[in-house]
Amino acid sequence: MTTPSYTRKDFQTDQEVRWCPGCGDYTVLASVQGFLAELGRPREEFVFISGIGCSSRFPYYVNTYGMHSIHGRAPAIASGIAATRPDLSIWVVTGDGDALSIGGNHLIHALRRNVNIKILLFNNQIYGLTKGQYSPTSEVGKSTKSSPFGSIDYPFNPVSLALGAEASFVARTLDMDRTHTQSILRAAYEHPGSAFIEIYQNCNVFNDKAFIQLTGKEERVHNRVDLEHGKPIVFDGGAKAVVMRGGEATIVESSSVDPKAIVVHDETRPDPSIAFALSRLSHGPYGPTPLGVFRNVERAVYDHEVQVQIEAAKAKLGDGDLNSLVRSHGTWTVEASSSNGG
């Protein structure tokens, strides 16, 4: 049997893509559509669920099943689909406000349970749809319409948060690097269980050049730390490296340490402590910042375990009849009474 052939066009809809000109969402959309086409899988087997925000328009533009859902609740809705339709590939598209503010609990519990959904968190460090208020990932001191004197909130580190929730797959990529993004998408797709991908996404209207230290031609050479499984963590043309000291990931001059002391990245390490330490090298896209897969481990998948329990119950009790169960005991009949008036 030959594998069907698809192109990116097969995953494009007839809807006008309505993001601000120059928004990083366009590049992410193109990366996802191109990636889906490469899989050779019918579009009817994909589901995209979003919450509220600029990124959450995504389901309109991907020619698959999908739903623009409720603010912060996309992981909960996606979890329900995963538990009932394990044959589908289910993706959540969310933003830093949608996922980390009103949707924080839904996010961490989906990751904790290891539900087989793939979560794409577009992080532009701002509320874009509501016109530029600070978000849960905005840096301290961020001056916005809602924080004219500078934000005093301490921001989340989304990768650290996901690792703390025991997510079995955690990664970070950039909107403008389509090759890197598609490689991360494929790794997440092939991973059994929940996958969390933070995508640094530029908002050129309300938070332009927030990621310039990782995207600028001069800056990225010194600040982009690419994590590659099985390879020593070096960057800046090999001039700098990462070592562990006292449980913390530390950046040193490569020439100042024994090469054996340089951390060799192991994304499959069961203990997430080193992955967590790597996520703390920077608390945002400032200075040397790791990109790539932080963690990729296997453990029991929630929706699979649900199906195991259902099959065990069927084997013990039979298929059952809901109508008979409802009427099995404790039922009563309400009869309408007549009235003569008066």
Which of 193-202, 229-238, 316-325 is the least confident region?
316-325
Instruction: State yes or no: pLDDT of 313 exceeds 90.
Output: no
Backbone CA torsion sign across 235, 236, 238, 239: negative
pLDDT of residue 340: 61
Whose tokens are 């794409």? That residue is 120
> Residue 28 domain-assigned?
yes
State pLDDT tens for residues 226-284: 999 999 999 999 999 999 999 999 999 999 999 999 999 999 999 999 999 999 999 99
Instruction: State yes or no: pLDDT of 291 exceeds 80.
Output: yes
* Residue pair 192/176 in contact by the 8 Å Cβ criterion: no
Instruction: State yes or no: pLDDT of 331 exceeds 80.
Output: no
**Residue among 162, 155, 51 at smallest CA distance from 108:** 162
**Domain CATH for 131:** 3.40.50.970
pLDDT of residue 326: 77
* Residue pair 298/192 in contact by the 8 Å Cβ criterion: yes
Structure tokens that stand for 75 in this block: 């992981």
> Residue 208 domain-assigned?
yes
pLDDT of residue 319: 78
* Residue pair 35/89 in contact by the 8 Å Cβ criterion: no
Give the Cα separation of 215 and 221 in Å (integer).
Answer: 9
Query: How many structural domains comprise the chain?
Result: 1
> Residue 54 domain-assigned?
yes
Mean pLDDT confidence for 208-212: 94
> Residue 79 domain-assigned?
yes
Q: State how far the alpha carbon of 48 is from the alpha carbons of 35, 36, 90, 117, in Å.
A: 14, 12, 6, 10
* Residue pair 33/62 in contact by the 8 Å Cβ criterion: yes
Give the Cα separation of 110 and 325 in Å (integer).
Answer: 31
Please report the DSSP string for 191-240 in residue order: SSS-EEEEEE--BTTTBTTTTHHHHSTTHHHHHEEEE-TTSB-EETTTTE
Confidence class for position 339, pLDDT limits 50, 70, 90:
low
> Residue 101 domain-assigned?
yes
Residue 47 belongs to domain spanning = 8-216
> Residue 50 domain-assigned?
yes
State pLDDT tens for residues 98-129: 999 999 999 999 999 999 999 999 999 999 98
Instruction: State yes or no: pLDDT of 341 exceeds 60.
Output: no
> Residue 154 domain-assigned?
yes
Mean pLDDT confidence for 181-191: 98
Q: State how far the alpha carbon of 12 is from the alpha carbons of 21, 51, 76, 175, in Å.
A: 18, 20, 26, 18
Whose tokens are 């995963």? That residue is 82
CB atoms within 10 A of CB 118: 21
Instruction: State yes or no: pLDDT of 290 exceeds 80.
Output: yes
> Residue 174 domain-assigned?
yes
Instruction: State yes or no: pLDDT of 314 exceeds 90.
Output: no
